[in-house]
Structure 1
Amino acid sequence: VFVHNPYRDPVSHPSSRLLSSIESDITFLNIGQHISALSAGCLDIPLAKDVLLVGSQTNILAYDIDNNKELFHNEVSDGANALLVGSHLRNKEPLVYVGGNCSITGFDKDGCDRFWTVTGDNVHSLSILDFNLDGHPELLIGSEDFDIRVYKDDELLCEISEADTVLSLCSLGHNKFGFALANGIVGAFSGENKLWRSKSKHFPLMVTNYDMNGDGVDELVTGWASGKVDIRSLDTGQILYKDVFSSPVAGITKADYRQDGKDELICCSVDGELRGYVPSVSNEKSLGSDSLLQELSQRKSNLLLELKNFEITQHIGESVEPDIEISKVNTAVGVIPVSTQIKTDFCARIGKEDEQPHIALIVETTNNIPIQTVTVFCDGLFDGESFVVHPSSDKATTKVEIPLLPDKDITYDLAIKTFVGNPNSSQFHVFETSRRLVKFCLYVPCPVDTKPLPLGNVVFNINERLDRVKSFIESQFLYGLGENAVLSPNLEVAYMSLRTNTPVFIKVEPSKNNKVTVTSDDMDLVGDIVQSMAENLGIEDLQSVAEFPKHMCDLKEIMNKIEEFHQVRETLSAEIADHASIIRNLIVRAEDARIMSELKNMKMAYMQLYDLNREIIRGYEIRRSNHMELLDCLKIVNQTVQKATRLRVGKPKTVCTSSCRSAIKDMNQDALIKAILCGTT
């Protein structure tokens, strides 16, 4: 780790900076491992001094640079992909949050574990802000499964699904935050509402906040793999300032580097080029004026073009006799009947041998005017975020069908633009419509006695009327209750998944204290239904009992593998320690032989060193392979725990997480399985 401090006073701290140094203000800290995350922050409020935090794939180090002292050095089995100093807990105790392999761990100033939870995939980014404006900060987590999760204390408050891996998050004040995705998208949210987004062909590496124009409102700063650094308006996403490095951006931060009481924006490239930026009020005024002028000019051009089209259409309409059909008119100007409208609908397609089951979006006109083009925009549903159907002019019809196959069970908002007009028209009428694709759209009703019956299920009780449960099903499933549903005395519905071709059953028994049973072998799906039902019905606390034999059998195998990997790791560590002792002896023998001019003995010693070195390299490769397999197994365990927590809501969910954490620490398989199925040990 390279540390630069031009303000260090060697007289005040004569014993500090014991790290290797090439200049008086530059020091180096040798970690000895690949560094996967780097951060700094204050963990001890009374001292009011930042500490350096270094993360690797196996450890986290907290280091006091001023006193050249290690504060704590902890092992993190899930690795450290992201580090953040702050607090989202009620006691406001500063923690260093470590985002790793499907888990987040919080350590205090002494290195004690104060917070732990699991998430759906590897964590790439962390941030803290008051997401729901309740006066208490929440923890934001961005991960590889395209989700941004918001945690309030130990409870999952909200999930926002994006179109790709969430690489970076940053707070922009109040409940606003910026984000960067692996597909080149950067943008900003205000709570759950997206303010804007912008897509680039380049790869964003990181985002941070900085008030560049001095107006008291932070802008979004983005560093790109192309070497570009741009600063965007929080409200619109318009670029206010940009600069370009000759190599990719390595890091961006803000700090009072010049010690003048004002923070500067500091950017560093991979090649080591460092640039600092300060706010410029004058630039903000000119950029704001240019922006307003450009926006007004564009609006004027659009209005003039629209006016011209209206005038041409009116002129053609006045010159045509009333009894002449539209089709006989020169349709180059795009004249269509005023009664033309667009209808949209969804329909399930079971699929054929050469066609995958899917949901079809049907777009059609209300008369015989053909559809020339349909463009559908939706985040996360299509690879390019849009889908275009443009048939040849001789094949244009009044009806277009677009296949939809969501990867995840979430709600999608579709923005549809339909171009309508006759084939020989040079201008088309554009109809803009929007439709919402419900969360469980890929599940079509099937008979409640469908066989075979899944072995997995979750059972819980709710204090709600049966009509409200029916309303929930009607609003979240594309076909609602369906014609096969049993409505009395118990509510029983069954659905077949178009994605996996497996059934899911929901049964509500009012006579048994509103007992709800959700049956499916898909633990993720059951968790989604439980969470969606709790949100829709306003349930704050929900305890459940689950049964997933296949998942638990797989989990036992994984836990056995983890024990084996830990044993192999300990054996390899012991062998490395033995080899280190032998190496020291061989080096001493070789050096003694050299001094005594005993070349034969010296050669033998070095040959033994060479052979031993090859054994160490082989042992390292085995240890590396063992570690990677261990991480894969730990990821599966953490994901299973995360699935188990989604079967509960509120306090029972927190208890389940804590119980699973304790069982994993103790490597207690029985306790872990009990915590997953029953919510507690």
Structure 2
Amino acid sequence: MIVQSYNFSLKYDIIMATSGKLIGDSTSLIGYTSIGSILLFQNNTSNFLNVKREFKSLGVINQCLVMASENTLTVHDVENNFDQCFIEVQDGINTLAIGQYYNGDSLQELIFVGGNCSLQGFNVQGEEIYWNVASDEVAALCVFGFDNENYIVIGTTDNCVRLLRGVDIVFQFNTQSLPVSFAGIIYFDQTYLLTGMENGSIKLHRQQLELWHNSEDQEKIFKLICNDENHFIVGRRNGQIELRSLMTGQLIQKLNLDEQLSGMLYSDLRGVGVNQIIAISKQGNVRGYTVVDKDADNLNLSQSRILTELTQKKQELMQQMQLDKMPVGLDLRCGFQKNYTNQCLNLVFILSEPGYYITQAIIFHDTYYKEGYIVNNPQPSDKLFAPLKQLVDNQKVILNCKVFVSSNPHGNYFLILETSPTFPKFANFQYVEQDLKISSFVEAKINERVPRYVKWIDQCFNINEEVKKKFESTNEFIFNTINIINQQKLQIHFDSKEGKVTIRCDSIATCGDIIQDLCDFIQIQDLMTVGQFPVEMQEFKKVLEAVQQHKSSKLQISGDVAEAMNLVKSYIVKAEDSRMIGDIRTMQKMYANVMVQNKAIQSELYKKKQNNDILMNNLKEVNAMISNASQLRVGNAKIAITNMCRNAVKKNNLLTLIEVIQQGREI
């Protein structure tokens, strides 16, 4: 349980807080105040760093204070009062985390920053050691692990969570709400990852397996802290602190501070040798809590009693169903069928025995059907068709379905059959007999037998047995498909004789998804591919040209603003000189010029903001294209492509960038 250890006030409103060792061996509490200063609280003494700048994140690395603003990163040596480094981050900074990174040779502590579709890691000297692409703007970031087993977790605004080990993706999943906080622990060689979302729900994954999901709508998650292998701490924006079981997510204890949180840390502020939970409110009140193992037996007894009551209630309901002579033991089959009217696939439920009727089905999924998708059968029969309009992405989806069955089409008692059909990853691509003409392609050298290819197609696409048998009897075949939603064409040519697979599609993202899934199925660890994407490259050239244009505009606008500010200074000096000698007419004229230049500066700054917004969107598209290009390769080739693209962008070499994306080599 959670026991309060201390309580004091910093006497200033706190916007954000962190902790770490800055001076000597004592831990400092660092807070960014509402008056724009950094407050340092150490050994019951408060001091200030009068920085007078706006910051988004704070951290501590190697006894230096890390301060992150919207586009800059400052590492400040507090004890010697000088800046170790000052870094301009072009992709912007949304969130910051300090953690260790193992590059294969050595272990070093880095400052990780998440921005506009990118993740960067800097050492204390300001050198960029790590860079990776994110699927969207980074909203949450966490680094955990020990020795050479270190992990990076990123959550992006497209509700995607990725667990990285170095630059490699260990696994990823989507959430139904924006991920805002993570906590991780490695226990008996198993990686446990807690994800807190904006809607207040929490998930726990062990490796790729989701162990539980607490989907209760509560206050927004502020911070998750995993203090041991049995419990974790939840801090919510409204000041609510919860102690929960790690393995079940069950609430053990809840405290209400009646104040909004601005910081929640896990640190030894008092120097007692034990880390404690430190809760800092926006009003500057600091409370310390210790987690102690007490009353565990009573809690387990209470949980056991609740479980017994629920089990008894379930048995009573089952008995009532038997008394009503409801049908049992029915065989329910599921499948997928084209729906050209709604341009999607139908999930089809079929009863194998006559005399029973499907009246309704409810489909659940954490992302697509969180509240439940209810499908009513207009005329109850042994079949029910449920259009799956929301499933538009190339994602494998496991649906949880409850199907209501009755022996009477107008009855009031139902047997609920549960089933969990899997929507294949590329099910929306439907097989067609016609030969498709597609100009874009990617080619890979893969030596594999045709039956393995057919098995992969059967797993990832929606095909029938006749098509499977047709392909299995050949050494080479072409698999033509058209997406039922957007009419996108996809052709895959499998040639076992030449050891070659050619994927034709005008979408580089779709080709990347195919490559990654196929290699994962065949267990290929390293693969280089070459291709041509004339349609997408034509549009990408326009994006690159726009980036250059807006970068030039940014420099020009900055120059115009600087020139106008110099004019303002000179006009003010002349106006004051005129006032001192009594030349009131000239003074009025100079101040009128100041007003004109001030309006001009405001106009230029507005243009600068608009130009920067467009530039950020274009850079987001560039990073997305680099991510898609890396998805066309696997293993070391994937890392090499990302690095070559990054170098080409830094050198502003557009032709090399396009060559790397398509051919995997530099000009």
TM over 0.5: yes
**Superposed displacement of residue 494, structure 1:** 0.7
| Deviation for aligned residue 1:448 | 4.6
Corresponding residue for 1:65?
Answer: 78
Residue type of the alignment partner of 1:124:
A
Report the TM-score when normalising by structure 2.
Answer: 0.87
| Cα drift, residue 283 of structure 1 | 5.5
Q: Which moved more, 1:93-102 or 1:626-635?
A: 93-102
Unaligned runs of 5+ residues in structure 2 are: 1-14
Q: Contact conserved, 1:455 with 1:549, CA < 8 A, in 2?
A: yes
Moved more, 523-532 or 242-251: 242-251
Q: Which amino acid aligns with 2:51?
A: N
1:553-583 alpha-carbon deviations (Å, 9 max, x no partner): 1111111111111111112222333334334
Return the offset for 1:80: 0.9
Q: Which amino acid aligns with 1:413?
A: I
1:180 aligns with one of 184, 196, 207: 196
Cα deviation 1:234-266 (Å, max 9, x = unaligned): 111111222335465433222222222222222
Which residue is equivalent to 1:236?
Answer: 248
SS of the residue corresponding to residue 368 of structure 1 reads coil
What's the CA shift string for 1:59-91, capped at 9, x where partnerless?
A: 222223343322222111111112111133232
Unaligned segments of structure 1, at least 5 residues: 314-332
Equivalent residue for 1:281, pick from 273, 282, 293: 293
In the aligned structure 2, how far is the partner of 1:166 from the partner of 1:6?
A: 26
Matched, 1:433 2:423: no
1:345 aligns with 2:335: yes
Match of 1:161 among 171, 174, 179: 174
Distance 2:520 2:20 in 1: 54
Q: Is the 8 A contact 1:6 1:25 kept in 2?
A: no
Q: Aligned to 2:420, what secondary structure does the other structure show?
A: strand
Secondary structure in structure 1 of the residue aligned to 2:395: coil
The corresponding residue for 2:641 is 656
Cα distance in 2 for partners of 1:652, 1:29 equals 48
The one of 590, 607, 613 equivalent to 1:628 is: 613
Alignment of 1:86-235 (within 5 A): 86-89=99-102, 90=104, 91-129=106-144, 136-174=149-187, 175-202=191-218, 204-211=220-227, 216-217=228-229, 219-235=231-247
Q: Secondary structure at the match of 2:399?
A: strand
Within 5 A, what are the aligned runs for 1:445-464? Answer: 445-450=431-436, 453-464=437-448
The whole-number CA distance in structure 1 between the counterparts of 2:147 and 2:361 is: 43
Aligned to 1:40: 59
Q: Post-superposition shift, 1:104?
A: 0.9
Determine the C-alpha separation between the residues in 1 that align with 2:300 and 2:65.
39
- The 1:300/1:111 distance shift into structure 2, 3 A limit, reads same
Look up the match of 1:318: none
> Which of 1 and 2 has higher RCO (CA within 8 Å, sep 6+)?
2
- CA distance in 2 between counterparts of 1:458 and 1:20 reads 53
Residue from 372, 388, 391 that aligns with 2:359: 372
Answer yes or no: is the 8 Å Cα contact 1:202–1:225 preserved in 2. no
Moved more, 634-643 or 70-79: 70-79
Quick one: structure 1 residues 73 and 173, their matched pair in 2 at CA, closer, same or farther if it must change by over 3 Å?
same
Higher strand share: 2
**Do the aligned partners of 1:448 and 1:493 also contact (CA within 8 Å) in 2?**
no
The DSSP-based 3-state class of the residue aligned with 1:542 is coil
TM-score (norm 1): 0.85
Counterpart residue identity of residue 76, structure 2: Y
Amino acid at match of 1:679: G
The alpha-carbon distance between structure 1 residues 528 and 231, as it changes in their structure 2 partners (threshold 3 A), is same
Report if the CA contact (8 A) 1:462-1:515 is conserved: yes
Q: Offset of 1:377 from its aligned partner?
A: 1.8
Shift of 1:195: 1.4
Q: Is contact 1:456-1:521 (8 Å) kept?
A: yes
Contact 1:481 1:493 in 2 (8 A): no
Partner of 2:398: 413
The CA deviation at 1:462 is 0.8
Q: Secondary structure at the match of 1:137?
A: strand
Structure 1's 284 and 270: CA in aligned 2 closer, same or farther, altered over 3 A?
Answer: farther
1:552 equivalent in alignment to 2:565: no
Quote the offset at 1:220 in angstroms: 3.4
2:130 partner amino acid = F
Q: Residue 567 of structure 1 aligns with which residue? A: 552
Q: Describe the shift of the 1:241–1:28 C-alpha distance in structure 2 as closer, same or farther (beyond 3 A).
A: farther
CA distance in 2, matches of 1:4, 1:230: 20
CA separation of 1:203 and 1:542: change in aligned 2, threshold 3 A: farther
Residue type at the aligned position of 1:186? I
219-228 vs 87-96, which moves further = 219-228
Partner amino acid, structure 2, of 1:356 = Q
Q: 1:491 aligns with which of 477, 487, 490?
A: 477
**Residue 645 of structure 2 contacts residue 661 of structure 2 at CA under 8 Å; is this kept in 1?**
yes
Which residue number in structure 2 is paired with residue 322 of structure 1? none
Q: CA deviation at 1:275?
A: 3.6
Distance 2:575 2:302 in 1: 75
- CA shift, 1:224, in A, is 3.5
Shift in CA distance, 22/457, structure 1 to aligned 2, threshold 3 Å:
closer
Change over 3 Å in CA distance of 1:558–1:297 after alignment to 2: same
CA contact (8 A) 1:7 1:25 kept: no
Q: Which letter does structure 1 place at the counterpart of 2:428?
A: L
Equivalent residue number for residue 523 of structure 1? 508
CA RMSD after TM alignment: 3.2
Determine what percentage of the aligned residue pairs are the same residue: 23
The 5-angstrom pairing of residues 503-518 of structure 1 reads 503-512=489-498, 514-518=499-503
Distance 2:280 2:659 in 1: 50
